[in-house]
Structure 1
Amino acid sequence: MAWRDWATGSMLARFAAEGAAAEVVSRYAARPAEAPLLARRVGLRPAEAPSPGPARDLGWAEWSVRMGQLSSLALPGLDGPVHAAARQAPLALARGATRSLLRRDYPTAARIARWLALLQHEGVALPLDPVPLVTHLRMLGNGPRLALDTAIAGNLLGLEPV
C-alpha cells in the first residue's frame, strides 16, 4: 500500500494544478486514518516499505504476481526500487504474464503486461513482444480495471493515441 500511495502522491504532485495537491493532502490530513501515507508522504518514497526485491528471492511465479499487485506504479516518470527490480527481471515478468494468460487470469496478465510495456518503453530488451499480448488481452478480457491496464500498456507501446 505504501508504494501505491507514493505513486498516487507523486502523480498528484506532478499533474495537479497549483495548490490542488496541497488541498487534497490537507483534506486527508483531517482524516489521517483514511490515507495516512498520502497525507504524510506526497512525493516521498516510503522509507519503511519493502520493495518486491529480485525475482530470485521469491521465485518468478510469486514475484510476478507481486509485481502485478504493484502495477499502478508502472507509469513513465516514476522510478524507484520497484522499477529497478522490474528492470532486472524481464524474463520473470514475461513468464508471469504468459502463465496468467494460460490460466485465464486476464486481470493479472494485464497488470504484468503493463510492466512489460513500461520496460519496452524504457528500452529494456524483453523476451517476448508485449504488443500481441496487450492486443490479445483487449479481446479476451472485460472489466474496468483490465480496460485501464490495457489502455495504459497500449499507450506505452504506441498503440493508443496520446
Structure 2
Amino acid sequence: MGLEHISDGTSQTAGVAEFCRGDWFGRDVTRLVLKSHSPGVAGDRLGRLVSECLKLELSEKNTDGAIKGVTWMSQALGQTLYNHTLPPNERSCTNDPGTIQEGAWTAGSQHPGGVNVLFLDGHVSFKRATILLSVWRAIGTMNNNEAISGEDN
C-alpha cells in the first residue's frame, strides 16, 4: 500500500512512536503490562478493556509476565508494535488469559508528559500524555476521515 491510500493525510497519520522497554519489577507504568479480564477488543468491547485496564492496581499480581519490547526481533504487538488504544505513557494491558495480539499496547517514553511521534510525512511531533483520546486514536488511523486541528493535540 502506498502513501496515496492514506486519505487522512500523511501529516496527520502516525507511523511510529516511542515505546519503553519493559522490566519485571519496576513500577513505571510506561513499562508494565497488566492483565485485564476483558473478553477481547472487537466491537464495543474496546471500551470495556480500556475501563478495566485503567482500574487495575499496579501490583505484581496484576502483571501478565510479558515484558514490552524484549524480543525486539518479533514483529508483534508488545514487542515492536504499539497501538493507540490508550494515551501515551499510560499502562499496557493484555486480556487474561488472553493473547499478546489483543490489548492496549501503549506508546511510552521517559520524557515527562508525552512521547515523540514520527508521522508519515517525515515530521516528528511531541504528543502530550494529556492528548484527547479521540485525537490520539485519530492519528493512529489512516482512512477514518477524522478532522484534527492544531488545538486538539
The alignment's TM-score, normalised by the length of structure 2, stands at 0.28
Larger Rg: 1
User: Higher strand share goes to which structure?
Assistant: 2
In proportion to residue count, which structure has more helix?
Answer: 1
Q: TM-score, normalised by structure 1?
A: 0.27
